[in-house]
Amino acid sequence: MKLTENKAVTRFYLALKLLLVATLFSLPGASAFAVEKPSQVQKQVLSTPPKAADAPASSKPQVEGEAKVNINQADAEELASVMKGVGLKKAEAIVRYREQNGPFTEIEQLQEVPGIGPSIMERNRDRLKM
């Protein structure tokens, strides 16, 4: 019975320590009770709208600076660097397929390349162009 009481006390002190650490990390300054007025820089940061709000609304959000790659003109290195989940081997397979079968007529044809499936297509649809 004493062993289970010891475990309970140990867990209690561990939880207390975690609570103390969490409280210390959440303090805004030296004192938990000090109320600090926002500085001029903090006011400026809080009042500045995010840049994404200035961008035109589209049906699919695009990452700023996201590169697009032409699947009929790019070499293997460029395909591998732009496409998520596509390394140099899969990129070489795309180029090889293009050389053997001619240029792609639509982006969905990439799924005919061995190793390129629906999940890779979904991750990269916004990065591909004809």
Flag whether 22 is in a domain: no
- The CA dihedral of 61, 122, 116, 94, to the nearest 10 degrees, is -30
Q: Is residue 87 part of a domain?
A: yes
Which residues lie closer than 8 Å to 86 by C-beta, 6 or more apart?
79, 80, 94, 116, 120, 124
List the CATH number of the domain containing 125: 1.10.150.280
Torsion angles phi and psi, residue 55, rounded to 5: -75, 150
| Tens of each residue's pLDDT in the chain, 130 residues | 566 677 777 887 777 777 776 776 666 654 545 555 555 555 555 555 555 444 444 434 444 457 889 999 999 999 999 999 999 999 999 999 999 999 999 999 999 999 899 999 999 989 999 8
Q: How many CB atoms are closer than 10 A to CB 119?
A: 9
Q: Could you give the number of structural domains in the chain? A: 1
Q: How many of the other CB atoms lie within 10 Å of CB of 113?
A: 21
Provide the whole-model pTM: 0.50
For residue 85, give the H/E element and its range: none
